[in-house]
Amino acid sequence: MQYFTTTSKASRRAVDCVIVGIYERGKLGIGAEDVNTASKGALQRLVKSGDIQAQAGSCTVLNGLVGVRAPRIAVVGLGKHGEYSVSKFVAATAAAIGAVSRSKAKSVLNCLTLEPCGNTGVYYLARHTAQSAEEKLYRYTATKSGRSPAASSLRQVGVALSKPGEARKAKLGLTHGGAIGKGVSLARQLGNLPANICTPSYLARTAQKLAREHRNLQTRVLGEAEMKRLGMHSLLSVGNGSDQASKLIVMQYKGTTRKKPVVLVGKGVTFDTGGISLKPGAGMDEMKFDMCGAASVIGTMATIAKLQLPVNLNVVVPAVENMPSGRASKPGDIFTSMSGQTVEVLNTDAEGRLILCDALTYSRRFKPDTVIDVATLTGACVIALGHHRSGVMSRSQALANQIVAAGEAANDLAWQLPLDEAYGESLKSNFADMANVGGRSAGAITAGCFLARFTDGLNWAHMDIAGTAWATGKQKGASGRPVPLLSEFLLEHCGALP
Ligand code: BES
Ligand code: MN
Ligand code: ZN
């Protein structure tokens, strides 16, 4: 995709489509005003006739409006004038680019960037535009036979600016947004692939392939023998029932010298049957998405490496398949983790924390500045926060604040849950240092408390993305979240934001 900025008017630019917006009750946005004047009031008449919807996110494509240079005009609803916000901008832009990508248009100009939008400047508006464009290009076709749906014709995406002085920030936004969109698409693809294709080895190969594309990115894959030598018996116990070999995928990106790295750890359970504590059958197919934490940290790595950001970033992915079998671990089995602490596995379905604890201990060797783990960890988090916000837990309030703020800025929302030591009391075991499950209450938090016992002295946060990593029902599919949030966190961390 090519990106451009322009200060020419919506009606004057020679592109295949321009995007303009209207508010409820017929108020025209800035680009729409210009199109209306150029078309001698035709747009206003169409709005008055009721043919064009103004609710946030609806989109009407007009063809051949006389007086306007572009052959197509995508008119999107912006909702009520007083309630316009960056999330409305994103919804409107996504709807318009979605409609345009289904047409034959090769180039599009987003004029919604002219609209005042709270405190959000042109950098973020341009970034969201490019991210939307990249995301709209993503179509899942890998396992469909027959003719795949026509690829979109869209090649050029531009943003309209009110003054030339905004061009530098807008161009940076377009570059960042394009790279974030690519990271999101990679994460979605890995999430969507079925578990018979996307195995631990497949994730490892994907990480190795990514490393071949960037000279300052390395991938190392540890096999079971090496993990055994390191004492990762908690991690290894989860893969015991599976015929797929467990892997520890370690990616290292060096974008600067002498700075402590940020480490992202992603849960990579390529399929979670629950093990001997078998899950019920209904909807179990969705447990192919149980590696979306891994997908999101690999996707974020792709974004950061593409942008060549001046940051050191390491990604650690424990990749396993959780299956029942004669070799599977059983409720009551006890394993020694790499930290030396012993864990009684009371429920083999609480496997995410068993692989993450060893991956977190492994992360210590990098002497990290910050460690963030990302996991589809608990159904309880879905009950607590639903599907809009990811859960954030940390013993560092400053780090939790940074992550929640990054989510706001990136329009990829998160919400902090508490992590008081007291919640961890339910993990008490009579036979080991701790059990892998607490009671029924506060399940997302007790999972966080379990991980906290392995992160003493680290600047660490945990993200539970069980509710946000994928959609169910008709729209079933991976979301690519929280790649935008993590990318924003890293952009901020290394001072790459304007
Ligand atoms: N991968 C699941 C969590 C999950 C469930 C995510 C449903 C999204 C939707 C995790 O491994 C799991 O099974 N967690 C258990 C923990 C329990 C046994 C303490 C859960 O949430 O039920
Ligand atoms: Mn499970
Ligand atoms: Zn799981």
Average pLDDT over residues 220-246: 98
Assess whether 87 and 194 both reside in one domain: no
CB distance 466 to ligand 1 below 6 Å: yes
Assess whether 187 and 149 both reside in one domain: no
Residue of minimum CA distance from atom 6 in ligand 1: 466
**Per-residue confidence band for 82, with pLDDT thresholds at 50, 70 and 90:** very high
CA distance 303 to 297: 10
Assess whether 187 and 123 both reside in one domain: no
* Residue 168 lies inside a defined structural domain of this protein: no
Query: Quick check: helix, strand or coil at residue 239?
Result: helix
* Residue 174 lies inside a defined structural domain of this protein: no
In the prediction, which pLDDT does 125 show?
Answer: 98
Assess whether 124 and 224 both reside in one domain: no
Query: Pick the catalytic residue: 13, 127, 353, 481?
Result: 353
In the prediction, which pLDDT does 56 show?
Answer: 84
Assess whether 213 and 147 both reside in one domain: no
Catalytic residue status for 72: no
In the prediction, which pLDDT does 381 show?
Answer: 98
Residue 87: which CATH number? 3.40.220.10
Q: At what angle do helices 86-101 and 122-137 cross, to 10 degrees?
A: 40
DSSP string, 74-107: EEEE---GGG--HHHHHHHHHHHHHHHHTSS-SE
CA distance 363 to 374: 14
CB distance 349 to ligand 1 below 6 Å: yes
**Structural element, H or E, at residue 392:** strand 390-394
Name the pTM for this structure.
Answer: 0.98
**Per-residue confidence band for 59, with pLDDT thresholds at 50, 70 and 90:** very high
Average pLDDT, the chain: 97
**Which one of 378, 382, 383, 445 would you pick to mutate in the ligand 1 pocket, going by the greatest count of ligand atoms within 8 A of its CB?**
378
Residue-number span of the structural domain to which 197 is assigned = 182-493
Average pLDDT over residues 216-243: 98
| Per-residue model confidence as pLDDT tens digits over 4-49 | 999 999 999 999 999 999 999 989 999 999 999 999 999 999 999 9
Assess whether 217 and 111 both reside in one domain: no
Q: Is the model's pLDDT at 57 over the cut of 90?
A: no
Q: Is the model's pLDDT at 227 over the cut of 90?
A: yes
Assess whether 81 and 193 both reside in one domain: no
* Residue of 444, 446, 403 whose CA lies nearest to 421: 446
CB distance 396 to ligand 1 below 6 Å: no
**Per-residue confidence band for 51, with pLDDT thresholds at 50, 70 and 90:** confident
Query: What is the chain's Cα-based Rg?
Result: 24
Number of domains observed in the structure of the chain: 2
| Per-residue model confidence as pLDDT tens digits over 360-409 | 999 999 999 999 999 999 999 999 999 999 999 999 999 999 999 999 99
Query: Pick the catalytic residue: 106, 171, 220, 279?
Result: 279
* Residue 142 lies inside a defined structural domain of this protein: yes
**Per-residue confidence band for 1, with pLDDT thresholds at 50, 70 and 90:** very high
Kindly state the percentage of the chain with pLDDT values over 90.
Answer: 96
In the prediction, which pLDDT does 54 show?
Answer: 87
Residue 367: which CATH number? 3.40.630.10
Assess whether 211 and 333 both reside in one domain: yes
In the prediction, which pLDDT does 92 show?
Answer: 96
Assess whether 140 and 239 both reside in one domain: no
Cα of 273 from ligand 3 centre, angstroms = 8
Assess whether 360 and 392 both reside in one domain: yes
* Residue 165 lies inside a defined structural domain of this protein: no
In the prediction, which pLDDT does 149 show?
Answer: 77
Q: At what angle do helices 30-38 and 42-49 cross, to 10 degrees?
A: 110
Average pLDDT over residues 433-443: 96
| Lowest mean pLDDT segment, chosen from 49-53, 299-303, 304-308, 448-452 | 49-53
CB distance 275 to ligand 1 below 6 Å: no
* Residue 172 lies inside a defined structural domain of this protein: no
Cα of 352 from ligand 2 centre, angstroms = 6
Cα of 269 from ligand 3 centre, angstroms = 6
* Residue 134 lies inside a defined structural domain of this protein: yes
Catalytic residue status for 247: no
Q: Where does 161-231 have alpha helices with state H?
A: 167-192, 200-212, 224-230
Q: Where does 232-351 have alpha helices with state H?
A: 233-239, 292-307
Which ligand 1 atom is the nearest neighbour of the CA of 467?
A: 8
Which ligand 1 atom is the nearest neighbour of the CA of 274?
A: 13
CB distance 380 to ligand 1 below 6 Å: yes
Q: Which residues surround ligand 2, an ion (CB under 5 A)?
A: 272, 349, 351
Strand duo 247-254 + 217-222: pairing: antiparallel
Assess whether 86 and 122 both reside in one domain: yes
| Residue bearing the bigger pLDDT, 50 or 124 | 124
Kindly state the percentage of the chain with pLDDT values over 70.
Answer: 100
Q: Is the model's pLDDT at 317 over the cut of 90?
A: yes
Assess whether 135 and 228 both reside in one domain: no
**Which one of 349, 355, 373 would you pick to mutate in the ligand 1 pocket, going by the greatest count of ligand atoms within 8 A of its CB?**
349
CB distance 391 to ligand 1 below 6 Å: no
Which ligand 1 atom is the nearest neighbour of the CA of 279?
A: 13
Cα of 379 from ligand 2 centre, angstroms = 9
| Per-residue model confidence as pLDDT tens digits over 149-205 | 788 899 999 999 999 999 999 999 999 999 999 999 999 999 999 999 999 999 999
* Residue 467 lies inside a defined structural domain of this protein: yes
Which ligand neighbours the alpha carbon of 286 most closely?
1
* Residue 228 lies inside a defined structural domain of this protein: yes
| Per-residue model confidence as pLDDT tens digits over 439-461 | 999 999 999 999 999 999 999 99
